[in-house]
């Protein structure tokens, strides 16, 4: 008997993030811009956004939380190190999390991404795979 898959969770670390917005700030240091970028990627893969929350830290850093009817996405950045963590969880098994990670990586100017993809099953079991992607 095949186990039912309930959701897929991507957990990613982006490094070497160097793209800047017009003001000169790093994309990962502009909470509002970063939220818009992630929302655009989510919409591209068919997510339905119902809430957004952003926090700009001073002197630097940002946190973005996005509620989607399929679950959530979040990001937290350390611009001083060119580093950002991101996670995306969905119960819609047709959503392309790999596309989303690629879209975000390119648009924040990341030089690399390490991520784990976790498949969550009805019996509580999980299957995960880890990958490293470089040179966006």
Give the active site residues.
Answer: 71, 76, 91
Q: Is 129 helix (H, G, I), strand (E, B) or coil?
A: strand
C-alpha span between 21 and 29 (Å, rounded)? 9
C-alpha span between 80 and 19 (Å, rounded)? 13
Burial class (CB in 10 A: 0-12, 13-18, 19+), 54: middle
Q: What is the DSSP letter of 122?
A: T
**Half-sphere exposure in the Cβ direction for 65 (13 Å, CA):** 3
Residue that is written with structure tokens 């490094």 in the block: 15
């Amino acid at each position: 008997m095949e186990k039912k898959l309930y959701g897929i969770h991507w957990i990613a670390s982006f490094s070497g993030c160097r793209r800047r917005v017009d003001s000169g700030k790093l994309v990962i240091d502009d909470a509002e811009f970063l939220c818009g970028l992630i929302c655009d990627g989510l919409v591209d893969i068919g997510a339905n956004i119902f809430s957004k929350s952003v926090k700009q830290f001073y002197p630097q850093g940002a946190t973005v939380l996005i509620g989607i009817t399929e679950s959530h996405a979040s990001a937290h950045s350390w611009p001083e190190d060119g580093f950002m963590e991101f996670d995306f969880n969905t119960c819609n098994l047709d959503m392309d999390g790999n596309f989303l990670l690629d879209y975000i990586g390119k648009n924040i100017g990341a030089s690399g991404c390490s991520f784990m993809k976790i498949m969550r099953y009805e019996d509580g079991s999980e299957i995960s795979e880890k990958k490293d992607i470089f040179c966006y």
